């Protein structure tokens, strides 16, 4: 039996992509592994539903309230516990700091966005992230990432680390797929396209709004609306300014952070999912739309080609032709529902990813 620690921070507050991936993967892992002991480190007590597993325990280490470097101080307190309790493996679900200071760390690296979007990050944060990622590749027991695309980028940073980098794919969130309530804010007769994502530069939502503006100039789409679900991230002002500039305040509607209980309903009723991201580590929301047989139009970037294969419609975001892009979107909507549900669930499910992670754990 191994004693395995887990960083629960990404799950604790309105979890978006990384948080959703983390908790989905952990729950699936606990479903299949009753032999190892798991200790979840958090800043507040975790929900009792996670403690239904007899081999899962919770250690609460309160977040510092005074003096600077609160995050580092909290992580140091976790590391001291790991060493004191002779933890065999630590799953660092996001922060590279653990891999640098606890030698038995399996480090998760979800993407290298600061390398691709330097203007979106403060200089010190960008330098620190890239430096700690390089060190984590050297020092971590093993490195886990979410796609072959990101694995190639990591190998580009450190070719010697290639043999200890593994891909554990992201997957469909079964909770939001199975447990659905009607989102009454959107009337049943409303025709709309959808984006579900944190508002940040790499998501390229300003371009999506420009494309939508061209779409509604077509006679059969003039009554459409564009709903955007997701919390405000950073550098999102351009998105809001684009809506104002185009006079789309009544057409483009921001719904904020999407509660799991409503996401399935909103997705399944949409006419199309649009995701024109400049960069992604994986990109789960187009897959979730495909689960509901809703067509998706996405940017032609490597990770979408890897993950979505021939299930999506692609547009070139480097050669911007708004009317042409709107035409592609219109054709996808006119084509209607697609037969993709079974395919995507077979390819990307939590059980499959959890088995892969358990294989990695069992290597050590």
Q: Is 177 a residue whose pLDDT tops 90?
A: no
At 117 the pLDDT is 83
Confidence band for 14, pLDDT divided at 50, 70 and 90: low
Confidence band for 179, pLDDT divided at 50, 70 and 90: low
Spell out the domains of the chain, with CATH numbers in brackets.
Answer: 3-171+349-361 (3.40.50.2000), 174-346 (3.40.50.2000)
- The pairs formed by 52-58 with CB atoms below 8 angstroms and a separation of 24 or more are 55/30, 56/30
Measure the CA–CA gap between 173 and 292, rounded to whole angstroms: 12
Q: pTM of the entire structure? A: 0.91
| Both tokens assigned to 110 | 């979800």
Q: Is 235 a residue whose pLDDT tops 80?
A: no
Q: Is 36 a residue whose pLDDT tops 90?
A: yes
At 225 the pLDDT is 98
Q: What is the pLDDT of residues 152-172, one digit of tens each?
A: 999 999 999 999 999 999 998
- C-alpha to C-alpha distances, 363 to 106, 147, 252, 269, nearest whole angstrom: 11, 20, 49, 44
């Amino acid at each position: 039996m191994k004693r395995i620690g887990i960083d629960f921070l990404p799950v604790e507050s309105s979890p978006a992509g990384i948080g959703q991936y983390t908790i989905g993967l952990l729950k699936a892992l606990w479903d299949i592994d009753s032999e190892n002991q798991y200790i979840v480190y958090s800043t507040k007590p975790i929900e009792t539903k996670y403690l239904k597993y007899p081999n899962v325990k919770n250690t609460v280490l309160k977040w510092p309230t005074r003096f600077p470097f609160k995050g580092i101080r909290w992580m140091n307190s976790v590391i001291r516990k790991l060493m004191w309790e002779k933890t065999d493996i630590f799953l660092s679900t996001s922060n590279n700091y653990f891999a640098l200071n606890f030698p038995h760390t399996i480090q998760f690296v979800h993407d290298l966005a600061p390398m691709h979007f330097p203007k979106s990050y403060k200089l010190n944060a960008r330098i620190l992230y890239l430096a700690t990622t390089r060190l984590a590749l050297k020092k971590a027991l093993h490195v886990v990432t979410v796609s072959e695309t990101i694995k190639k980028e990591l190998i580009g940073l450190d070719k010697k680390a290639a043999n200890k980098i593994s891909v554990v794919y992201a997957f469909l969130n079964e909770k939001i797929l199975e447990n659905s309530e009607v989102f009454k804010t959107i009337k049943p007769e409303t025709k709309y396209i959808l984006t579900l994502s944190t508002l940040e530069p790499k998501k390229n939502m300003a371009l999506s709004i420009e494309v939508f503006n061209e779409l509604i100039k077509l006679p059969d789409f003039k009554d459409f609306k564009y709903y955007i679900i997701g919390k405000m991230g950073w550098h999102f002002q351009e998105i809001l300014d684009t809506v104002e500039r185009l006079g789309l305040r009544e057409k483009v509607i921001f719904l904020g952070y999407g509660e799991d209980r409503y996401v399935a309903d909103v997705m399944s009723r949409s006419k199309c999912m649009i995701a024109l991201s400049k960069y992604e580590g994986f990109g789960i929301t187009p897959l979730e739309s495909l689960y509901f047989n809703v067509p998706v139009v996405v940017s032609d970037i490597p990770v979408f080609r890897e993950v979505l294969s021939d299930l999506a419609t692609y547009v070139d975001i480097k050669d911007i032709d708004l009317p042409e892009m709107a035409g592609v979107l219109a054709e996808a909507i006119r084509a209607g529902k697609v037969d993709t549900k079974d395919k995507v669930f077979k390819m990307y499910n939590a059980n499959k990813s959890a088995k892969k992670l358990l294989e990695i754990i069992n290597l050590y």
